[in-house]
Chains A and B, each alone.
Chain A
Amino acid sequence: MGHRNPLVRTALAAIMLVVLPSLTAAQMSHQHASEAACEETDLHCATKVTPAFAPDGTLWLAWMAGGHISVASSKDQGATLSTPVQVTRERLNLDWGPDARPKLAIDAKGDIALAFSIFRDRAFNGQVLTTRSSDGGRSFDPPKPITASNESQRFETIGFDPSGAVFAAWLDKRNRVPAQQRGEKYDGAALFVATSKDGGRSYSDAKLVADNTCECCRLALAFDGAGRPVVVFRNIFEGGVRDHAIVTFSDLATPGEVHRVSRDDWQIAACPHHGPSLSISPAGTYHVTWYTNGKARKGLFYAQSRDGGKTFSDPLPIGQANRSPSRPQIAAGPQGLVMVWKEFDGQKTTVNLMMSRDDGATWSKPAPIADTADSSDHPLLVSDRRHTYLSWMTKADGYHFQAIGSEP
């Protein structure tokens, strides 16, 4: 710096000492303080990535990064991706809750229905937005609200039924206001559904399925062999017990009776941020995985129903209880049932796998198939005609998409 005076040099060095460590700390904490690896809209900056196969075998990914939702596709099981297309027009306050993520479904024509949630106001009221692409994912319509109601909505899920209609379900707080006006207490939210007969361009009026569901856990959706939607959700049973419930629809607009998946007896006035997973095998068996911290049991569990969700088998514990098992996912694929979940040892998160070739009667020994040493999305499963794949976004190691072998 050219200062000859040693005192000046000392003083300058002192300034550097004062300033530099705090700058470095601030920069580090900036990088550190985000779940995302970067702030741009690219896939490797994403915090949530959702996969879906189109009927023609194309893999589609929708992700949340840099305040935008983007999609890209792959004709080679994820090895190479198309140029991403941005779905959102402007940077949005996307719902970043642990169980929120963009949802997409592709029909036989290659049209794409997509849904996601934003925080609409400073009180964190949510809003479910939907859009669609009718040109094979080259462009998307401007996203618009799924319902005219201005009460909070979150945790949407969508899927095409075999006739090509979109079925959408979400959690909705609209019934709180009239209940409170009547002087009644209203716990949680409500499960609402709507359908679209035009590929997601417009949706029917929202229809109530059940009041007083848990308000902060994702929903699980699958279609049975007859194409009827089945939804699993964390309900609020008598006494504030947040255990899981299931409903099978007789058609897209007609919910059947709500049954209980398990009596875990988790009485808690809190947001568990930890929803269930559901898959229906070709035999028609419902397979459900979930998390609870109830009086009856604690941890991850699996159960199956062979009578269309009326009764379930005794819950089977999943994972190592001392490794904080979380985020269980189940998929009935071409090679049988596949289950994955996360475990954490204080430093490293591992994705563990179990498989069943007898419709859930017996399971292989759990085996780790992927790991990462920083934050990560939920491990997800998706199947094409040949394989089931693990889809897993990690901050440190980027996006994983890997075929799950017939033997773990």
Chain B
Amino acid sequence: MIRHLLAALILLGSLAAAPAADEGALKPFERGSWQQLLRAHAGHPTLVHFWGVTCGPCKVELPQLGQFMKDHPQIDVVTISADLVPNLPDATRSMLDRAGLASAENWIFGDGFAERLRYEIDPAWQGDIPRTMLVARDGTITTIEGSAEIADLSKWSDAQAATIR
């Protein structure tokens, strides 16, 4: 009996661990996630891209960002699907896969109160997407509204590389 229970516990443990190991799993972006994200990447130049599956300009930019990630392995690339919820994890994942962003750190808004999530990120942000936030090694944040020019991202990335002593 005890052995069975222990086996059950081990099984539960492995089940619980399974989603984390699944590449491409979307992390639910909830209250507090923004600060958690900043803490996790502190000291690393990080590109955070906000987008959504129904946003026309986002569809054009996403594959360019996939290429950017490939070309700049020293930059942490994070995407956050900021569409209203209930949103569509399957469509989100499939667009990220096609854009070459499956291995990025991918989040999806997981709280129905999108205004509050946006407020935690930037109180002035009214929800327009795409939007890119470049978080420098020293924590300085540069916000790019709308589609980013990949040349600008590369310039920022090069400047970040130059700050390594």
Contacts and interface: CB of A to CB of B under 8 A. Distances in A.
Interface of A: 5, 7-8, 11-12, 14-15, 18-19, 22, 29, 32-36, 96-98, 119, 122, 124, 188, 215-216, 267-274, 291, 293, 298, 322, 324, 326, 344, 346-347, 349, 374-375, 395
Given A19-B12, A269-B57, A293-B128, A11 B147 contact: no
Interface stretch (B33-41, B48-56, B67-75, B151-159): B48-56
B111 A271 contact: no
Contact of B147 (A29, A270, A291): A270
B127 interface: yes
B124 A324 contact: yes
24 contacts: A11-B2, A11-B5, A29-B28, A29-B30, A32-B110, A34-B86, A36-B112, A97-B84, A98-B84, A124-B53, A188-B56, A216-B55, A268-B145, A270-B55, A270-B129, A270-B130, A273-B128, A293-B128, A322-B123, A324-B119, A344-B119, A346-B123, A347-B116, A349-B115
A35 B112 contact: yes
Given A344-B116, A374-B112, 19 more contacts: A15-B5, A33-B28, A97-B54, A124-B54, A216-B54, A269-B147, A270-B131, A270-B145, A270-B146, A272-B126, A273-B127, A274-B128, A291-B126, A293-B128, A324-B126, A346-B123, A347-B116, A374-B113, A375-B113
A361 to B, nearest CB: 29
Interface residues on B, range: 35 or more
Contacts of A270: 55, 57, 128-131, 145-147
Interface in B102-148: 110-116, 119-120, 123-124, 126-131, 145-147
A120 to B, nearest CB: 12
B128 A15 contact: no
Interface of B: 1-2, 5-6, 8-9, 12-13, 16, 28, 30, 52-58, 84-86, 91, 110-116, 119-120, 123-124, 126-131, 145-147
A154 to B, nearest CB: 9
A344 B54 contact: no
A33 B147 contact: no
A346 B120 CA distance: 7
A331 B88 CA distance: 35
B65 to A, nearest CB: 14
A395 B111 CA distance: 12
A268 B56 CA distance: 13
Given A119-B54, A374-B113, A35 B119 contact: no
B120 to A, nearest CB: 8
Contacts of A273: 126-129
Contact of A34 (B52, B85, B120): B85
Contact of A18 (B6, B13, B111): B13
A271 B128 contact: yes
Contacts of A291: 126
A267 to B, nearest CB: 8
